[in-house]
Each structure stands twice: as C-alpha cells, then as structure tokens.
Amino acid sequence: MSLKLSLRLTQALRALQSRNVVVSSARAVSGHMGDLGGGAGRGGGGGGSIRDAGGAFGKMEAAREEQYFRKLQKEQLDRLKEHLDQEVGHHEREIARHQEAIERHRERMRKIEEEKKIHEDSDRQG
C-alpha cells in the first residue's frame, strides 16, 4: 500500500472512530472488486508496482494489508470496550451517589414530619 493511501485510510478510520463508528472490515469495501492482490483493476487497486504486477507478491501484500486492518479493527474494538467499561463504572458511581442523596432527603423529610407531629400534639394540648 502506498504511503499516501495508507495515511488517507488512517485519517478516515480516525474520523469514523471519533464519531463512535466501528469499521467492520476494509475487505468489505474492496471485497466485491475481485481477487485481492491480483493486480491493478482486479481488486488489488493501484497500490504500487508489486501490486500492479499481481502474482504471489501482490497477494502477499494484500494479505499484509488485510492483517493490518484486522489488527487495527481489534485495537479499535478493544479501546471501545475499555471506554464503555469506564462509562459504565462512571454511571454506577453516579447511581450510588444519587441513591445516597435520596436517602438523605428521605431522612430529612422523616424528621420534618416528626417535628410537625410534635408541634401539632403540643398545639392540641396547649
């Protein structure tokens, strides 16, 4: 893969990642074009002289690209899972904090009701 194409693909993947989109596979995009590494215009694209020539070296280069994208996708999924784990932990802590606040408010309401009953009882007796 040429450096320019590699940089453009990396930028596109980063843009998708920033929008929380996970790329399913680079092969899905190029898979309908034919045999990868088979030469220019046959699924391999114009990825350089080795890829243009096709043959074993072109197929090997295509396999390396596929391996690169599978590794990249795995890393993206791992980062997404880690981020979601952090989000879940954050929300669980927020839930606990809110439950404690609810309990404090309920206790305060009970005390207010008790004070209200004490005042009502003293008004009836007085």
Mean pLDDT of 85-94: 98
Question: Could you tell me if 29 and 43 are in contact, meaning their C-beta atoms sit under 8 angstroms apart?
Answer: no
User: Nearest CA to 5 among 69, 55, 74, 71?
Assistant: 69
The residues, ordered by sequence, that sit 6+ positions from 27 with a Cβ below 8 Å of its Cβ are 36, 66, 69
Say if residue 118's pLDDT is above 70.
Answer: yes
pLDDT, tens digit, 9 for 90 and up, residues 57-79? 888 888 999 999 999 999 999 99
User: For the chain, how many structural domains are there in total?
Assistant: 1
Question: Could you tell me if 79 and 72 are in contact, meaning their C-beta atoms sit under 8 angstroms apart?
Answer: no
Cα–Cα distance measured from residue 4 to residue 124, given in angstroms and rounded to the nearest whole number: 89
Domain extent at residue 94: 3-125
Cα–Cα distance measured from residue 35 to residue 82, given in angstroms and rounded to the nearest whole number: 36
pTM of the model: 0.49
pLDDT, tens digit, 9 for 90 and up, residues 28-47? 444 444 566 555 555 545 56
